[in-house]
Structure 1
Amino acid sequence: MAECCNCGKTFFIGGQSIDGYRYCSATCSRLHPVIVTAESLPAATVQQFVEKWRHGDCPVCKRQNGPVDVHAEHRVISLIFVTQWHTRRHISCRRCGWNKQLEAIIYSTLLGWWGLPWGFVITPIQIVRNAVGLARRDTVAATEHFEKAVRRQLAAHQLQSARSAPQA
């Protein structure tokens, strides 16, 4: 069992390996240069941008509703013998994250139960995960997921700048 170095998805078969990094798909493996560059960024620079972005405007609602961070929503959908579940992470203020988690609870409650046997097993799990997210308070410091997202944004910007710079 492997975990994708880009999206964090767990996969059993397939995937792609580049320089010791494992990716679940070709789409994720295309971000290999960004991931490698992100790991080499100086911690002080990253921390400076983490604090700046954390206390800036929410990228979803554009308001300054509090600290911006990564919020997860967990969904499940089922149809007879097929059940699919996933987690999506969003960079937003607490209010926007709370709205996404509430939407995920409603979505999973309406569409998660209709599969045998996994719909009955996974649906309550995903609903509880969202409920725990709703009850969680904002952390004083940025989460690891937020720092990782900031690192990758900075690395992507750095690589883009290097590509657009005139070649000598």
Structure 2
Amino acid sequence: MSLEKAPISYDEHGEDVVGLGAYRVLETFTDAAADTDEAIVEDVRRKMRRALQDYPALAHKTVTIGRLDPDEDVLGRARFWNLLVLYPTDRYTSFQTVYHELAHLAIHIRDQRGEDVPPTSEEFCSIFAIARMPPEFLDEDRIAYLGHPSAPQKEWPEICERALEYRDENGVNSHYIQRAREWLGVDE
């Protein structure tokens, strides 16, 4: 198991964390990935290092990367109770999947802090994740649990941020998910 830490700092008052969390890769992941392609491990490490920069809720936390069961028909999985993300070892994981699974963990932490976030909504998680992504990291033609947008890909993060702002302004029952789909141009 390897552990990688990024610098952690505080704001001028020493209160809010402005930094990164850490991650570790379980040997079961590295061993299984090495059987397929050793570059899969380095690719996940690179994507985790970058994605953690966009999740301040995970600062001072250590995320564990484990092996997704090959029989599961999913792209990734998060186990928020122990800050575990599971990725496949037989193929590369997209940036969007990495951001989505980390979003589950960040949402759980925010929920535990008493923030009004839906910890089990996959749609909210996708909106939350895409809103944090630099457009150049969008590497799929769809958004998990939302669909295939017709809006230009470079606009997806801004549209998802607008949907989150709409939710904040109009309440949790504001149909912000439908608004996000509408603004993204997703056919339902």
Indicate the structure (1 or 2) with the bigger Cα radius of gyration: 1
TM-score by length of 2: 0.23
| Structure with more of its chain in strand, by fraction | 1
TM-score by length of 1: 0.24
